[in-house]
Structure 1
Amino acid sequence: MDEMTTPTGAGHGRAVAVRVPMRARSRTEPHRASTPLELLFDLCFVVAVSQAGGKLVHALARGEPGHGISGYLLVFFAIYWAWVNFTWFASAYDTDDVPYRLATLVQMSGVLVLAAGVPRAFDHADYTVAVVGYLIMRLALTCQWLRAARGERGAARRTALRYAAGLVVVQLAWVGLLLLPGALWTGGFLLLVVAELAVPAYAEHDHRTSWHPHHIAERYGLFTLIVLGETISAATVAVQSALDESAALDLLLPIAVGGLLIVFAAFWSYFAVPIHEHLVSSRRAFLWGYSHYAVLASAAAIGAGIEVAVEQVTHHADISARAAAACVTVPTAIFMLMVWAVHTRHFKNGLAEHLVLPAGAAAVLLCTLAGHLAVPLAGLAAGCAVAAGVWLAAGESRRARF
């Protein structure tokens, strides 16, 4: 073999300049954490998430929820799936050598092109720029999978080649979709979403890649923090608007406080359990990862909803106070339900613990009726749900000791 080998993970800390085979990393590797390159990659998605959230705000503030929500869901899937493609590959094959870093930087460039295409996709259903961004990302990622196949043997090699082939076929289908008439586009989009989700199942049906459970859990947690950051940003906008719009000070400050309470409660509920202990099989992990589309999309939508609530109070939105309240309470309730359904449910004991987040979500939805006071009340409801969960878990811990 004309390639030099290095121990698994030996390249981390500095890029290895020699040619090395891309070997799978161990699923039991200790102290596996996100790398600076992965964190830089995530930062590129801040732009895309912000673009999608901004467009959702404008549509909701204009009283166009149908267009806004449908466009947001389609665009956010493109953002989410681009991140997923990179994350699971990196968990199994991150060698951190020069070729790997260069390929990842190319993927980042594709993410930025995707972000630039978000406004066209949202406003005019023109996905040309977004598909070009995907082409750039997929070209680099396909090369990564082919490189992984070269370094593997047997079933692991077949899996890598299936991933590469699946990416190429689906990406060609996306390019072909651009040629379809507008009336057929939505149906084609949904069909290709199913095809995208099927690629990992097809590739790994007889051999599982060596993704690292703790690393995957950390990566999803970090992306959740990124989208929750949109809510913190929206709360900051509310405070700034309160300072600029002194006439609405008594309404804007409660929105800011309520928004912060919501994001604090969302953080607490999401990071309350060691979810990596649940990710013991590909079936569990893929279902958990796929379901995070709803978790992440709703988390980002909370920030957009707070911005809509601010615009309504400052008379920059053509919707009622109750409609603006729903822009916050609905995604908050969805987030709480999804976190319970796919994340914390696996660690709950007894009916009372299981009901905390669903009941909290119902209470948050009821806050919609409060109009201008809905956001602070929703924040209190979410906070009470977290407090109840902590109290019940502490009681369970005390009973376990005796």
Structure 2
Amino acid sequence: MTSEADLPPTAAAGTPAHLQHARPVRRMAPRSRSEPHRTATPLELFFDLCFVVAVAQAGVQLAHALAEGHAATGVPRYLFVFFAIWWAWVNFTWFASAYDVDDVPYRLTTLVQITGVLVLAAGVPRMFQDQDLVLSVVGYVLMRFAMVTQWLRAAACETGAARTVALRYALGITLCQIGWGLILLVPHAAYPYVIPLGILAELAVPVLAERSAQTTWHPHHIAERYGLFTLIVLGETVAAATLAVQTALDEHEAIGDLLPIAAGGVLLCFAAWWIYFAEPVHGRLRSNRQAFLWGYGHYLVLGSAAAIGAGLEVTVEFSVHQAHIGAVAAAAAVTVPAALYLFTVWLLQSRHFKQGAEQAVLPAAAVAVLACTALGRDAVLAAGLVAAATVAAGIVLRARRLNRRAA
């Protein structure tokens, strides 16, 4: 029988659940880590879709920078913008896993965060082209101060160690936002030195806030939320590549050059999906240490997944003579993020479910995809074939292991 402690906060306050849910304002009580049937809400899905607008903007600007031969400036700017998008998403997701009450104040605060990411997205082109951080920082700070109000509301409903954790979050996030405001006052030449400090400070907040007690995030819910966002980012990658191919065909009709890129891109995206969801990972998220390492590592998983789409745009532009780079550089725009994706997914989750020869499949595939860079114009198709062979090898080796176990 389900106990009162296992019910969501809307049903654990002595009032029937349907009446609790109808209340516009509810007590922000922590949700149970063992709550059954915990899944993503429509608001969370809407939140993800709005965030992908910013991901798409970052990908477009990265593609333009790479195609113009400005990788030395474009890649660091992409990494910074993607961090801002990803980190705001991460903080909302983990907070929601522990404290989502889905009442009117919670929804309105979430909509403020969505507004913030749209402002950030609007500022992405300025940041790439002129190093003008003002609009992007304003959008980011808007999201983060909305998160501060959520933590203060949680603190008002908590006691003891849980209240301390909530207040630490509120204080840490506030101090970081003050720091971002101060960064706007320094010369552009100082950005490479001060921005990493701001990023490290942001990453330290959860570690310091939860050093003595942890919030009641739900393992299955967290794994599902990360999986859904990965799906949406991969979908954006497919959409970006499709649009690039369509535009190139409309303007140049170079179908013979574009078909191998389209085929290789589809194979890469399908393989990326297959490999990520090969095994359910929520069972490994048992502690903050395990979950934080896995969650932080997804910066590389998601960032590389989005960058594959940007790279495919670059290769399309190169094939129709619109890019100002060589064949190897255009190929690397796809193979480098694809290899990083394969290795990072293995490092964070796949290796925990592999045995024997299975352990070598994804690292070897990452190296093979990188080696495809030397093929230049044929690199994308070759990388796609390597990714497809990787999936096939994983299926065969897993089947053999299960057959041996059954015997």
**Shorter-normalised TM range:** over 0.9
Distance 2:187 2:152 in 1: 34
Tell me the equivalent position of 2:371: 366
C-alpha displacement at 1:181, in angstroms? Answer: 2.0
What's 1:398 paired with?
Answer: 403
| Cα distance, 1:21 vs structure 2 | 1.4
1:336-351 correspondence runs (5 A): 336-350=342-356
Matching residue of 1:230: 236
1:37 correspondence with 2:43: yes
TM-score, length basis structure 2: 0.94
TM-score (norm 1): 0.95
Structure 2 letter corresponding to 1:145: W
> What is the CA deviation profile of residues 87-113 of structure 1, one whole-angstrom value per residue up to 9, with x for unaligned ones?
110010000011111111111111111
Within 2, Cα distance between the matches of 1:276 and 1:353? 21
Q: Kindly report which structure 2 residues correspond to 1:13-32, keeping only aligned pairs within 5 A, or say none.
A: 16-32=22-38
Range moving further from structure 2, 74-83 or 128-137: 128-137
**In 2: Cα distance, 1:121 partner to 1:8 partner:** 47
Instruction: Pick closer, same or farther for the CA change 1:14–1:117 going to 2, 3 Å.
Output: farther
Aligned residue in 1 for 2:3: none
Cα deviation, residue 362, structure 1: 1.1
Runs of 4+ residues deviating >4 angstroms? 8-15
- Counterpart position of 1:249: 255
Gaps of 5+ in 2: 1-8
CA-atom RMSD, angstroms? Answer: 1.8
1:212 maps to: 218
1:92-139 deviation line (CA, Å, top 9, x unaligned): 000001111111111111111111111112222221111211222122
Do the aligned partners of 1:238 and 1:252 also contact (CA within 8 Å) in 2?
Answer: no
Distance across 2 between alignment mates of 1:307 and 1:393: 34
Of 156, 160, 164, the match for 1:154: 160
Structure 2 CA distance for aligned equivalents of residues 247 and 100 of structure 1 = 50
| Alignment correspondent of 1:270 | 276
Who is 1:355 aligned against?
A: 360
Kindly tell me: are residues 276 and 184 of structure 1, through their superposed partners in 2, closer, same or farther at Cα, counting changes over 3 Å?
Answer: same
The amino acid that maps onto 2:208 is: Y
Residues 226-235 or 359-368, more deviating: 226-235
- Measured against aligned partners, the alpha-carbon deviations of 1:229-288 in whole angstroms (never above 9, x if no partner) come to 132113313542464356521110111011000000000000011110110100010011
Asked if the contact 1:11–1:97 (Cα under 8 Å) also holds between the matched residues in 2, the reply is no
Q: Distance in 2 between matches of 1:114 and 1:62?
A: 24
Q: Distance in 2 between matches of 1:103 and 1:209?
A: 20
| Corresponding pairs, count | 397
CA contact (8 A) 1:235 1:257 kept: no
| CA 1:8–1:287: 2 relative to 1, 3 Å | farther
Are residue 329 (structure 1) and residue 335 (structure 2) matched?
A: yes
Secondary structure of 1:109 counterpart: helix
The answer to whether the 8 Å contact 2:33/2:218 transfers is yes
Mapping for residues 3-402 of structure 1, pairs under 5 Å: 6-7=10-11, 16-241=22-247, 243-244=249-250, 248-350=254-356, 352-402=357-407
Supply the distance in 2 between the matched residues of 1:84 and 1:13 (Cα, whole angstroms): 31
Distance 1:240 1:263 in 2: 18
Contact 1:231–1:260, Cα closer than 8 Å, also in 2: no
CA contact (8 A) 2:252 2:320 kept: no
Structure 1: unaligned runs, 5 residues or longer: none
Residue identity over aligned pairs, in percent, reads 60
